[in-house]
């Protein structure tokens, strides 16, 4: 049976889109990527996305028409369950549930990191750096002997965190490196994800410049 045609509706900077792109690339699934301008959302996009956010995945149905999926984790779970080339969740139910819990933990971890990266003064930057570092310390205690979250095998939880770590390979190392100091397992994990072809290829070549421009446009202190 022919795989359904997949269209990933995207924005070049969105980390949540990257999660879905990483899974698609890991599974060697052909897909079309369509970027939208989130500052001037087209009507056709708002008709598809209940939240007005990306990613949205259009899945061409055998009987015609498209199924519309939204929310990055739901999209990743769908892709993991329906595409060939091996599952990206552990087979053991307890380990699989643990991974899903750490995927949920990523939500606030992203929020702390995002607020640190966009801080406009020292007070906010210091508070959010500390909060982000605390969450990384909690992850450090949960990691095994790497290089990935669950050891040698790349899994869905890795795809969820990879876009977060990408930011810290773009900003000034003098700012980024102290955050990860004393966290050897997180550091190993971060480095392994940065080298993963699916992670590298989930963004366009100009992504680092686009992200630096984004920080400058939003008045982020670290971009000064």
Please name the residues in contact with 209: beta carbons below 8 A apart, sequence gap of 6 or more: none
133-158 pLDDT, tens digit per residue, is 999 999 999 998 889 999 999 999 99
Residue 7 — φ and ψ, nearest 5°? -125, 120
Q: So where are the chain's domains?
A: 6-82, 93-223
Q: What is the pLDDT along the chain (224 residues), one digit of tens a residue?
A: 455 699 999 999 999 999 999 999 999 999 999 999 999 999 999 999 999 999 999 999 988 899 999 999 999 999 999 987 778 998 899 999 999 999 999 999 999 999 999 999 999 999 999 999 999 999 999 998 889 999 999 999 999 999 999 999 999 999 999 999 999 999 999 999 999 999 999 999 999 999 999 999 999 999 97
Q: What is the CATH superfamily name and number for domain 6-82?
A: Glutaredoxin (3.40.30.10)
Q: Provide the whole-model pTM.
A: 0.95
Active site positions, annotated:
14
Class of domain 93-223: mainly alpha
Q: What is the DSSP letter of 7?
A: E
Pairing of strands 32-35, 6-10: parallel
Residue 68 — φ and ψ, nearest 5°? -115, 120
Rounded distance, CA 70 to CA 48, Å? 9
- Lateral strand order in the sheet of 6-10: 32-35, 6-10, 56-60, 66-70
> What are the residues facing 58 on neighbouring strands?
7, 68
């Amino acid at each position: 049976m022919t795989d359904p045609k997949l269209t990933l509706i995207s924005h070049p900077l969105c980390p949540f889109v990257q999660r879905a792109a990483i899974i698609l690339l890991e599974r060697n699934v052909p897909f079309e990527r369509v970027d939208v301008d989130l500052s001037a959302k087209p009507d056709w996009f708002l008709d598809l996305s209940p939240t007005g956010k990306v990613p949205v995945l259009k899945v061409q149905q055998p009987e015609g028409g498209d199924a519309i999926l939204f929310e990055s984790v739901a999209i990743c779970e769908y892709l993991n369950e329906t595409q060939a080339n091996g599952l990206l969740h552990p087979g053991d139910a307890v380990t699989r549930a643990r991974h899903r819990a750490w995927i949920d933990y990523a939500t606030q971890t992203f929020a702390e990191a995002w607020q640190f990266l966009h801080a406009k003064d020292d007070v906010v930057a210091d508070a959010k750096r500390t909060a982000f570092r605390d969450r990384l310390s909690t992850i450090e205690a949960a990691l095994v002997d790497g290089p990935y979250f669950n050891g040698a095998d790349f899994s869905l939880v890795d795809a969820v965190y990879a876009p977060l770590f990408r930011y810290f390979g773009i900003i000034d190392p003098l700012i980024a490196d102290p955050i990860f100091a004393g966290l050897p397992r997180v550091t190993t994990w971060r480095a392994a994800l940065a080298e993963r072809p699916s992670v590298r290829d989930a963004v366009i070549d100009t992504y680092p410049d686009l992200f630096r421009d984004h920080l400058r446009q939003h008045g982020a202190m670290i971009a000064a």
